[in-house]
């Protein structure tokens, strides 16, 4: 594990050419906006599709969508995958198997706006993990971390559009998984990349989810395939998985997790607007204050001194 975390194969963000930096930030923005819709989808399907089944079929759809572009490349990378199997398993577990399942679980009891605001704290974890990798954190970043954490505590303590629920805890764990996944992407071996690497992680993550899928079917039964369930699953499978994950992984390679995380701050605003328009969920005054604290804290903790 230590070898995985200490290996750096991508150039530092500061060495990226201006065009590469602009492309990386644009890709991070694309992924952020698309993922905002997936939080709304998780909330919309909370009473019709069990969380584990939601996650499993999402990755089945994603694999089908990505297969024409990634299956052959994944096969060519099979020897590299075997050499770095521990890394592939960890990335797949955090980013595919666990993260999205927890988001769906949180959607059972937590409004979509709350989900988006809690996830906004994940760039803070990205900065912490970079510090663990040897990047120094100054006083400005430490203050930003404390402000963002205060915003999360205010939110889960009743600052959102609903009182504290178990779903808020699920989202905090999901944010930790996503932050860890993003930090690990920075350590991706050079032999693994592109659509082939993405297809491999989707496949491994779906296989790891199979036991939970079997339990869910046995205990909860299946769901009825209607336009109201199939269309959202197509959205999260094609756009939120195949498109958004490819864009995010490429953004991490171009500008690093901290700078990509800065764009991720847009997500709470996107989620709040979409949940208000599509689900009728309102964000109260304390919810807005929580959003301001989280966004202000993460911006302060990861912004460039320039």
pLDDT value, residue 143: 77
Going from the first residue of the chain to its last (306 residues), give the mean pLDDT of each consecutive group of 10, the final group possibly shorter.
39 57 87 84 85 94 94 94 96 94 88 76 71 64 73 61 70 89 86 91 96 95 90 92 90 80 72 69 69 73 55
Q: 4 in a domain, yes or no?
A: no
State the pTM of this model: 0.76
The predicted structure's pLDDT at residue 29: 87
The answer to whether the beta carbons of residues 281 and 112 sit under 8 Å apart is: yes
* pLDDT the model gives residue 290: 73
Instruction: Specify the pLDDT at position 7.
Output: 41
Task: Give domain status of residue 12, yes or no.
Answer: no
Structural domain count of the chain: 1
Residue 272: which residues within 8 A CB-CB, separation 6 or more? Answer: 113, 116, 117, 283, 287, 291
Residue written as token pair 């919810």: 287
Per-residue pLDDT, 304: 55
Report d(CA 101, CA 126) in Å as an integer. 20
In sequence order, what are the residues at sequence separation of 6 or more whose Cβ sits closer than 8 angstroms to the Cβ of residue 268? Answer: 113, 116, 117, 119, 120, 291, 294, 295
Asked if 24 and 260 touch (Cβ cutoff 8 Å), the reply is yes
The pLDDT of residue 92:
96
Domain that residue 265 falls in: 18-302
Burial, 176: exposed, middle or buried (Cβ in 10 Å; 0-12, 13-18, 19+)?
Answer: middle
Per-residue model confidence (pLDDT) at position 55:
93
The pLDDT score that the predictor gives to residue 89 is 97
Tokens 């999205």 belong to: 100
Indicate whether 252 belongs to any domain.
yes
pLDDT of 297 reads 72
219 within domain boundaries:
yes
């Amino acid at each position: 594990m230590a070898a995985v975390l200490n290996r750096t194969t991508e150039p530092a963000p500061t060495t990226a050419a201006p065009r590469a930096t602009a492309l990386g930030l644009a890709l991070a923005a694309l992924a952020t906006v698309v993922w905002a819709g997936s939080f709304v989808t998780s909330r919309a399907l909370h009473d019709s599709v069990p969380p584990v089944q939601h996650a499993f079929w999402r990755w089945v759809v994603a694999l089908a969508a990505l297969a024409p572009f990634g299956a052959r490349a994944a096969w060519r990378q099979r020897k590299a995958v075997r050499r770095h199997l521990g890394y592939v398993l960890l990335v797949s577990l955090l980013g595919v198997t666990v993260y999205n399942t927890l988001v769906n679980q949180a959607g059972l009891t937590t409004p979509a706006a709350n989900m988006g605001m809690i996830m906004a704290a994940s760039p803070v974890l990205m900065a912490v993990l970079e510090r663990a990798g040897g990047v120094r954190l100054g006083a400005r970043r430490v203050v930003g971390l404390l402000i963002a954490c205060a915003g999360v505590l205010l939110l889960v303590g009743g600052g959102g559009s609903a009182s504290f629920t178990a779903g808020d805890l699920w989202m905090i764990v999901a944010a930790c998984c996503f932050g860890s996944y993003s930090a690990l992407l920075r350590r991706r071996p050079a032999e693994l990349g592109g659509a082939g690497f993405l297809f491999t992680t989707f496949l491994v993550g779906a296989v790891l989810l199979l036991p939970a899928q079997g339990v869910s079917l046995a205990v909860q039964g299946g769901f009825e395939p209607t336009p109201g369930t199939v269309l959202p699953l197509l959205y999260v499978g094609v756009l939120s998985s195949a498109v958004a994950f490819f864009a995010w992984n490429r953004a991490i390679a171009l500008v690093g997790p901290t700078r990509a995380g800065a764009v991720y701050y847009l997500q709470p605003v996107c989620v709040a607007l979409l949940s208000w328009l599509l689900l009728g969920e309102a964000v109260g005054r304390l919810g807005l204050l929580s959003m301001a604290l989280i966004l202000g804290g993460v911006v302060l903790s990861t912004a460039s001194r320039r």
